[in-house]
């Protein structure tokens, strides 16, 4: 089993590298190079989307856990727990918003 984790940075690098290769192939009339560039660019697009989906899911988990903690803190009258939960929930919501696919 692989430990590969998609990242936006790596995906963007593949997108750029593929676009460059595709354009150079176009300038040189090299259809093979153009196709390789298009493929690399598509792989970069897919990696960026996979990374965003993963980060969106992590944000959803944080938001849900924070919401639960916030409500338990409120029920117990524990302001520190309530505030911590609210903070975690807000962090998760921000992460979800930044990674909508």
Give the pTM. 0.80
Would you state the pLDDT for residue 2? Answer: 66
Would you state the pLDDT for residue 3? Answer: 80
Would you state the pLDDT for residue 4? Answer: 81
Would you state the pLDDT for residue 101? Answer: 76
What lies within 8 Å, CB to CB, of 63 at 6+ separation is 88, 89, 91, 92, 93, 95, 96
Return the closest-CA partner of residue 56 out of 8, 7, 93.
Answer: 93
Would you state the pLDDT for residue 25? Answer: 96
Mean pLDDT by 10 residues, the chain (101 residues): 84 97 96 97 96 96 98 97 97 96 76
């Amino acid at each position: 089993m692989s430990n590969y984790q998609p990242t936006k940075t790596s995906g963007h690098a593949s997108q750029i590298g593929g676009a460059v290769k595709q354009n150079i192939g176009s300038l040189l009339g090299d259809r093979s190079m153009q196709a390789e560039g298009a493929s690399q660019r598509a792989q970069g697009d897919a990696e960026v989307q996979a990374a965003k989906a993963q980060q969106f899911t992590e944000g959803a988990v944080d938001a849900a856990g924070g919401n639960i903690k916030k409500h338990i803190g409120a029920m117990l009258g524990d302001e520190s727990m309530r505030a911590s939960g609210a903070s975690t929930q807000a962090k998760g919501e921000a992460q979800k918003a930044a990674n909508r696919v």
